[in-house]
């Protein structure tokens, strides 16, 4: 059974369109309209991309375009189960949602164009009411265009070569997250946004309404912690933009206040019920959740809930052998969160992927911090920057309210901006994305460019895959010369900060290191594996992991780290887990080493 795809705005009435669709490749771009297609030669299992085995296609050749089609039952006149009866000129509306389609999607319903969307990692919605037949079967058709050789679009780890090479993996074309329908009133809540204000013991609730076609509207919000009601407020709505500050019931007792704070050690979520009324008539009703927590930078430390907090993260590519970027199911997403925590990590850096919202839900619920990183383009053009800016804004809008997200990362290792040291446009792009991100979300730190060549940034991230523990100790431990580190050391052959952007006391974190290859679990179709260093057996692997961790966690210079990596990913055999998530060595042994990294006193509550 498909889990509800949008976990922070959950309505009861919805229908998943996952399952079998008709399918065809259109490499030559022959078709422009659905009625031009007379024969559908293939079937595909949505939401798995056609390159994956789970889709039933398993074709990893170059394909510039593909088409999908399926029937569904939906009558616009069927209001028997709906509580909100349309009045006046108002009517029910049917919304068609796509979690993600890579890269450019065009959607028709019953042959009528209902939506176009560009961006392979973000959702979009079409109001398809006008295109529906009065009753009976409906037909939805999707064309996905995804040029495999276009390096100016944000593509993350998707390879542009026929076979995966180096650190790039199989491509993802077309639909790769849930497709679903829901019925709403004409006046309904389109978007919501939660902002915690821990110091004031309050929450800010923002919402956007669709067209207001009723004279009097009221919004009711109830917040609960378990059975305890923290707030129950009602507001008269005067326009389509709602912005309300909810003051929580505060007895002034520290134990109670601390009990309500969200952290990996105690992931307390506050349940919300939101109701939109026209008098006694319910127009819209859904459940949501939020949390009280704060993240910020204080001098050289990352702060969670007002206290220094050591980030122990693992780099997570978010691929699966049989489904690629798409998750096999909701249980697999939950299991990934559980495994990261079981290995002693309190966070993940989702690398070059905007993960399914269901993963973020489990990270919220189970307590796992997430760094969200924009998938890179690999060619610097005006088109590439325009695409990146647009899609990154959609990413922040989609995920702003998740308490698990603590850092935004618009660029990684100068990918897409390779000449930061010499070309001013490249530098301006990083600085612009940093400031844009801080503008769209002032509540979280931002790393302008993770790994090296930092300019505008709240955290200095360093990538260093040196496997020699002694050399790492000399470079980063207590006796390390800061001037030498920033002026002359060049992990990866790159300077750590650009000229004109000296270290100004920001936290320093080792955000990629390790990468020990241990090819314990062969993958079908993968003949050669690699990593940044190698281990020959369990004992060797554990010893190497321990030696690296002991050095990194003894360096008071660092306020956090991110080990590479969570699981094997195709030709990269440097995971702590096999590609199928089988542990290479016992989880408790990994956790014992990872958890020994509380380098300073003052963990967040």
Identify the band that residue 555 occupies on the pLDDT scale cut at 50, 70 and 90.
Answer: confident
| Token couple for 492 | 């990866």
- Taking residues 394-401, what's their average pLDDT? 98
* pLDDT of 405 higher than 80: yes
* pLDDT of 86 higher than 60: no
The answer to whether 219 touches 237, Cβ cutoff 8 Å, is yes
Q: Kind and range of the H or E element at 68?
A: strand 65-73
- Of the two residues 527 and 530, the one the predictor is more confident about is 530
Sign of the dihedral defined by the CA atoms of residues 371, 376, 380, 386, in that order: negative
pLDDT of residue 304: 96
Local structure of 508: helix, strand or coil: strand
DSSP for 342-375, written as a single string: HTT-SEEEETT----HHHHHHHHHHT-EEEEEPP
pLDDT of residue 554: 86
pLDDT of residue 292: 96
Identify the band that residue 603 occupies on the pLDDT scale cut at 50, 70 and 90.
Answer: very low
pLDDT of residue 259: 87
Q: Kind and range of the H or E element at 548?
A: helix 538-554
* pLDDT of 99 higher than 90: yes
Q: What is the DSSP letter of 569?
A: B
pLDDT of residue 432: 97
Q: What is the mean pLDDT of the chain?
A: 91
Q: Kind and range of the H or E element at 390?
A: helix 382-399
Which among 495, 493, 499 is positioned nearest to 485, based on CA atoms?
A: 495
| Token couple for 391 | 């899609």
Q: Where are the beta strands (DSSP E) in 503-568?
A: 508-514, 516-517, 533-534, 558-564
* pLDDT of 451 higher than 80: yes
- Residue 178 CA to residue 5 CA, distance in Å, equals 7
> Which residue is listed with tokens 């919202």?
357
* pLDDT of 602 higher than 50: no
* pLDDT of 288 higher than 50: yes
pLDDT tens digits, 301-316: 999 999 999 999 999 9
The answer to whether 25 touches 145, Cβ cutoff 8 Å, is no
Long-range contacts of 496-502 (CB under 8 A, 24+ apart): 496/452, 496/453, 496/454, 496/460, 496/462, 497/453, 497/454, 497/455, 497/460, 498/420, 498/421, 498/427, 498/453, 498/454, 498/455, 499/421, 500/455, 501/454, 501/455, 501/456
> Which residue is listed with tokens 């399926």?
70
- Residue 599 CA to residue 593 CA, distance in Å, equals 13
Percent of the chain's residues with pLDDT above 70: 93
| Token couple for 426 | 């490249």
Identify the band that residue 179 occupies on the pLDDT scale cut at 50, 70 and 90.
Answer: very high
* pLDDT of 219 higher than 80: yes
Pairing between β-strand 281-290 and β-strand 270-278 as defined by DSSP bridges: antiparallel
* pLDDT of 83 higher than 60: no
* pLDDT of 297 higher than 80: yes
- Residue 26 CA to residue 23 CA, distance in Å, equals 10
Local structure of 289: helix, strand or coil: strand
**Which residue segments constitute the domains of the chain, with CATH numbers given?**
14-182 (2.60.120.260), 189-290 (2.60.40.10), 310-597 (3.20.20.80)
Identify the band that residue 199 occupies on the pLDDT scale cut at 50, 70 and 90.
Answer: confident
Strand order in the sheet with 347-350: 405-409, 369-373, 347-350, 311-316, 558-564, 508-514, 460-463
CA angle 431/434/439 to nearest 5° reads 125
pLDDT of residue 1: 74
- Taking residues 281-302, what's their average pLDDT? 95
- Residue 294 CA to residue 11 CA, distance in Å, equals 28
pLDDT of residue 477: 82
- Of the two residues 530 and 273, the one the predictor is more confident about is 273
pLDDT tens digits, 128-158: 999 999 878 999 999 999 999 999 999 999 9
Identify the band that residue 238 occupies on the pLDDT scale cut at 50, 70 and 90.
Answer: confident
pLDDT tens digits, 16-39: 999 999 999 999 999 999 999 999
Contact partners, residue 67, CB within 8 Å, separation at least 6: 23, 24, 26, 31, 34, 37, 40, 141, 142, 143, 144
* 344 CB-contact burial (10 Å; exposed 0-12 / middle 13-18 / buried 19+): buried
CA angle 450/509/563 to nearest 5° reads 85
* pLDDT of 604 higher than 70: no
């Amino acid at each position: 059974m498909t889990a509800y795809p949008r976990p922070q705005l959950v309505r009861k009435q919805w229908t998943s369109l996952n399952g079998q669709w008709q399918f065809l490749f259109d490499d030559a771009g022959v078709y422009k309209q659905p009625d031009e297609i007379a024969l559908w030669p293939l079937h595909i299992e949505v939401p798995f991309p056609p390159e994956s085995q789970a889709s039933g296609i398993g074709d990893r050749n170059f394909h510039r375009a593909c088409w999908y089609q399926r029937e569904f039952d939906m009558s616009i006149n069927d209001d028997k189960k709906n509580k909100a009866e349309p009045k006046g000129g108002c009517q029910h509306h049917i919304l068609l949602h796509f979690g993600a389609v890579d890269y450019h999607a065009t959607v028709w319903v019953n042959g009528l164009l209902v939506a176009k969307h560009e961006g392979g990692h973000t959702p979009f919605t079409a109001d398809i009411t006008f295109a529906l037949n009065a009753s009976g079967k409906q037909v939805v058709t999707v064309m996905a265009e995804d040029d495999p050789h276009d390096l100016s679009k944000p593509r993350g780890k998707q390879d542009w070569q026929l076979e995966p090479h180096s650190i790039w993996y199989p491509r993802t074309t077309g639909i790769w997250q849930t497709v679903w329908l829901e019925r709403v009133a004409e006046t309904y809540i389109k978007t919501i946004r939660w902002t915690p204000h821990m110091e004031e013991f309050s929450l800010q609730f923002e919402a956007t309404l669709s067209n207001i076609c009723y004279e009097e509207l009221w919004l009711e919000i109830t917040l609960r912690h378990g059975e305890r009601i923290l707030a129950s407020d009602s507001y008269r709505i005067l326009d389509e933009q709602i912005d309300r500050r909810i003051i929580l019931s505060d007895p002034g007792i520290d134990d109670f206040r601390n009990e309500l704070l969200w952290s990996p050690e105690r992931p307390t979520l506050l349940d919300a019920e939101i109701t939109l009324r026209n008098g006694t008539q319910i127009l819209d009703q859904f459940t949501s959740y939020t949390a009280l927590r704060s993240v910020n930078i204080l001098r050289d430390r990352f702060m969670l809930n007002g206290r220094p907090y050591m980030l122990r993260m693992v780099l997570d590519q978010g691929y699966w052998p049989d489904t690629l970027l798409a998750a096999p199911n909701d249980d697999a997403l939950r299991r990934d969160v559980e495994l990261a925590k079981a290995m002693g990590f309190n966070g993940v850096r989702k690398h070059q992927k905007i993960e399914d919202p269901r993963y973020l839900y489990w990270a919220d619920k189970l307590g796992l911090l997430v760094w969200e990183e924009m998938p890179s383009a690999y060619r610097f053009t005006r088109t590439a920057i325009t695409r990146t800016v647009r899609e990154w804004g959609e990413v922040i809008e989609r995920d702003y309210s998740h308490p698990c997200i603590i850092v935004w990362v618009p660029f990684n290792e100068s990918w897409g901006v390779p000449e930061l040291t010499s070309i001013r446009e490249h530098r301006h792009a990083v600085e612009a994305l940093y400031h844009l991100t801080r503008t769209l979300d002032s509540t979280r730190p931002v790393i302008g460019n993770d790994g090296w060549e930092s300019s505008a940034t709240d955290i200095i991230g360093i990538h260093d895959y040196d496997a020699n523990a002694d050399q790492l100790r000399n470079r980063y431990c207590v006796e390390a010369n800061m001037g030498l580190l920033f002026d002359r050391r060049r992990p990866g052959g790159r300077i750590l900060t650009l000229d004109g952007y000296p270290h100004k006391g920001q936290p320093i974190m080792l955000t990629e290191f390790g990468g020990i290859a241990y090819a314990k679990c062969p993958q079908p179709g993968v003949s050669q594996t690699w990593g940044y260093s190698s281990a020959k057996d369990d004992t060797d692997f554990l010893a190497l992991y321990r030696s690296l961790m002991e050095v990194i966690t003894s360096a008071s210079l660092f306020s956090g780290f991110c080990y590479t990596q969570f699981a094997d990913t195709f030709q990269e055999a440097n995971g702590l887990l096999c590609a199928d998530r089988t542990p290479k060595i016992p989880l408790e042994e990994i956790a014992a080493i990872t958890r020994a990294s509380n380098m300073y006193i003052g963990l967040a509550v």
